[in-house]
C-alpha cells in the first residue's frame, strides 16, 4: 500500500475519532445517554471512513469482491445515519427511531441494488459507481443538511448561538461533499469527521455558556435572598427597638458612602475595593443583630439606662457576631459572614481603646467595624431619642472630629469630614421617606 496523503488523512481521522470517543466517555458533563449518542456518532464515522479506505486505498484484489460489496452496502446504509445520531446527542427527541428507519431504508436499497450493480459494482479493475449512485448521494447530502438544521434547532434552546461556527461546519462539509459528487474524490468522511468535532465543540460550548449563565443567575438569586433575609432581620430588630426607626437604612447608606469615598482617596486601598463595599453595604443592616438577645424591658425603656442596664445592653456586641454567623450560614459566603461578625461584634470598640466588648484599639479593630462606628455614632447624634432631641448636624460633625484618634479612626474621620454635604443629603433624603 502506497503511503499517500489520503492514507495519512484517513489515519489521522481515525485517531481523531478514537480520541473524541475517549473524551466523551470520560467527560463528566454528559449523562450516559448523551455519551452513548456521541460514541455512536464517532464510531459510525470511524466505520465508514475505514470502509471507504478499504475500497480506495489503492490495494485492490478482485477476489475480495463479495466482502467489499457487503462492507460498502453497510457503509452506504450507516452514512446517512450520522445526522440522526448527532441530533440525538444534541438532545433532539425521537432520533433513534429516525436513525433506525433511515438505516433500514438505505440498507434495503443497497441489498436490492448490490446484485445488479446499480449503486456501485466491483470488477477486475476495481470499484465503480453505478447508474443509481445518485440515490446514495441524495441520502448522504440530505443527512448532512439534517445536521445543520439540527444545529440551528438546538441553538434555539440555548441563550447563545454562534452562527459563524455553523457556517464553518457548512464550508467543511461542502469541501468534502462537492469533490465526492463531482470529481469522485473520496474525502467526504474526512470532512464529516472534522465537522463532527466542530459540532461537538459547538454544542459543548453552548452547554457551558448556559451553565455559566445559570450559575450567575443562581448567584444573583442567592444574593437577593441573602439581602432580603438581612433586611427583614434588620426590620425585626428595629421594630423591637423603638428608638432606632430608620437607623438601619441610614447607617448602611453612610457606611457605603464612607467606604466609597475612602476608596477614591486611596485610604486603605489594599483592603477597600468594590467587593468590600458591596459586602459592607449588604451586611451593615445587621450590625445590631445581638439586640435580639436583649430583653424588651431594657430595649424599650423610655429613658436613659442605669449602669447595670447599660452593662446588659453592651452584651449585644459580644453575642452579635455569633448570631450573625448563625443566621448567614448557608446563604452567604465566608467573607460576608466574617464581615458581618466583625461589624456586629466590634462596632463599639474605640480607636484609642476603652471600647467594648474586648477593648481593642487602632487597627486591631476590623476596618468594617471602624467604618460602622462612625456611621453609627453620627446617626445616633443627629436622630431623636426618647431621652434626647437630635443635635444640629454641624455639632455632630464637630463631635466626630473631636473624637478622631480617640474614638474613631483618624484616616476615616478625615474622609468623612471632606464629604459632609453628602451625609447631610442622605440624612435629609431618608428622613423625608420616613416622614
The answer to whether the beta carbons of residues 110 and 102 sit under 8 Å apart is no
Helix axes 307-328, 188-240, angle to 10 degrees: 160
Average pLDDT of every residue of the chain = 83
- Which structural domain range is residue 128 located in? 5-214
Residue 71 lies in a domain: yes
Residue 225 lies in a domain: no
pLDDT at 108: 95
- Cβ-Cβ contacts under 8 Å for 378 (sequence gap 6 or more): 254, 396, 400, 416, 423
Residue 236 lies in a domain: no
The model's confidence at residue 2, banded by pLDDT at 50, 70 and 90, is very low
**What's the CA gap between 345 and 341, in Å, rounded?**
6
Residue 239 corresponds to which cell in the numbers above?
A: 421594630
pLDDT at 245: 52
* Residue 346 pLDDT > 90: yes
**Mean pLDDT over residues 208-223, rounded?**
69
Residue 300 belongs to domain with CATH number: 1.10.3210.10
The H or E element that residue 60 is part of is none
> Which pTM does this prediction carry?
0.54
311 and 192 in a single domain? The answer is no
**What's the CA gap between 221 and 224, in Å, rounded?**
5
303 and 394 in a single domain? The answer is yes
- Cβ-Cβ contacts under 8 Å for 332 (sequence gap 6 or more): 226, 283, 340
Q: Is 163 exposed, middle or buried (CB count within 10 Å of its CB: 0-12, 13-18, 19+)?
A: exposed
Query: Out of 33-47, 125-139, 161-175, 410-424, which region has the weakest mean confidence (pLDDT)?
Result: 161-175
pLDDT at 104: 94
Residue 230 lies in a domain: no
Q: Say which residue the cell 445559570 belongs to.
A: 214
- Cβ-Cβ contacts under 8 Å for 297 (sequence gap 6 or more): none
Residue 229 lies in a domain: no
The answer to whether the beta carbons of residues 340 and 325 sit under 8 Å apart is yes
pLDDT at 420: 92
The one-character DSSP state at 122 is E
28 and 170 in a single domain? The answer is yes
189 and 65 in a single domain? The answer is yes
pLDDT digits (tens, 9 = 90+) for 20-31: 889 888 887 778
Residue 233 lies in a domain: no
**Mean pLDDT over residues 429-434, rounded?**
60
Residue 328 corresponds to which cell in the numbers above?
A: 448567614
40 and 136 in a single domain? The answer is yes
Residue 147 lies in a domain: yes
The answer to whether the beta carbons of residues 213 and 162 sit under 8 Å apart is no
Q: Which of the pair, 366 or 125, is modelled with greater confidence?
A: 366
Among 198, 214, 230, where does a domain finish? Answer: 214
Nearest CA to 299 out of 312, 286, 284 is that of 312
305 and 418 in a single domain? The answer is yes
How many domains would you assign to the chain? 2
Residue 219 lies in a domain: no
3-state secondary structure of 351: coil
304 and 199 in a single domain? The answer is no
Residue 23 belongs to domain with CATH number: 1.20.1070.10
Amino acid at each position: 500500500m502506497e503511503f499517500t496523503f489520503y492514507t495519512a488523512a484517513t489515519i489521522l481521522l481515525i485517531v481523531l475519532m478514537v480520541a473524541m470517543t475517549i473524551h466523551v466517555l470520560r467527560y463528566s458533563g454528559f449523562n450516559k445517554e448523551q455519551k452513548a449518542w456521541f460514541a455512536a456518532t464517532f464510531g459510525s464515522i470511524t466505520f465508514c471512513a475505514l470502509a471507504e479506505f478499504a475500497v480506495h486505498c489503492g490495494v485492490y484484489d478482485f477476489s475480495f469482491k463479495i466482502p467489499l460489496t457487503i462492507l460498502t452496502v453497510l457503509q452506504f446504509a450507516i452514512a446517512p445515519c450520522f445526522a440522526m445520531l448527532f441530533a440525538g446527542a444534541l438532545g433532539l427527541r425521537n432520533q433513534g427511531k429516525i436513525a433506525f428507519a433511515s438505516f433500514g431504508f438505505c440498507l434495503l436499497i443497497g441489498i436490492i441494488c448490490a446484485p445488479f450493480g446499480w449503486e456501485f459494482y466491483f470488477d477486475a479493475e476495481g470499484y465503480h459507481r453505478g447508474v443509481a449512485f445518485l440515490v446514495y448521494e441524495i441520502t448522504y447530502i440530505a443527512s448532512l443538511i439534517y445536521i445543520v438544521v439540527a444545529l440551528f434547532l438546538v441553538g434555539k434552546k440555548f441563550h447563545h448561538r454562534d452562527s459563524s461556527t455553523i457556517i464553518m461546519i457548512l464550508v467543511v462539509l461542502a469541501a468534502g461533499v462537492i469533490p465526492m459528487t463531482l470529481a469522485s474524490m473520496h474525502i467526504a468522511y474526512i470532512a464529516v469527521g472534522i465537522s463532527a468535532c466542530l459540532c461537538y465543540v459547538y454544542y459543548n460550548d453552548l452547554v457551558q455558556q448556559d451553565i455559566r449563565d445559570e450559575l450567575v443567575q443562581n448567584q444573583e438569586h442567592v444574593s437577593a435572598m441573602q439581602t432580603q433575609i438581612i433586611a427583614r432581620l434588620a426590620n425585626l430588630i428595629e421594630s423591637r427597638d423603638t428608638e432606632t426607626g430608620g437607623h438601619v437604612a441610614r447607617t448602611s447608606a453612610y457606611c457605603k458612602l464612607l467606604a466609597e469615598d475612602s476608596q477614591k482617596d486611596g485610604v486603605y486601598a489594599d483592603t477597600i475595593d468594590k467587593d468590600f463595599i458591596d459586602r459592607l453595604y449588604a451586611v451593615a443592616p445587621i450590625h445590631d443583630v445581638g439586640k435580639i438577645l436583649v430583653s424588651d424591658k431594657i430595649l424599650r425603656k423610655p429613658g436613659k439606662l442605669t449602669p447595670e442596664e447599660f452593662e446588659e445592653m453592651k452584651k449585644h456586641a459580644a453575642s452579635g457576631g455569633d448570631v450573625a454567623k448563625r443566621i448567614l450560614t448557608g446563604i452567604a459566603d465566608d467573607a460576608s459572614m466574617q464581615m458581618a461578625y466583625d461589624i456586629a461584634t466590634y462596632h463599639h470598640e474605640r480607636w484609642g481603646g476603652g471600647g467594648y466588648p474586648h477593648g481593642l484599639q487602632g487597627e486591631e479593630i476590623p476596618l468594617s467595624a471602624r467604618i460602622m462606628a462612625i456611621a453609627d455614632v453620627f446617626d445616633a447624634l443627629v436622630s431623636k431619642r426618647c431621652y434626647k432631641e437630635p443635635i444640629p448636624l454641624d455639632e455632630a460633625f464637630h463631635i466626630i472630629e473631636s473624637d478622631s484618634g480617640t474614638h474613631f479612626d483618624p484616616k476615616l474621620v478625615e474622609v468623612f469630614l471632606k464629604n459632609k454635604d453628602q451625609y447631610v443629603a442622605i440624612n435629609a433624603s431618608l428622613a423625608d421617606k420616613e416622614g
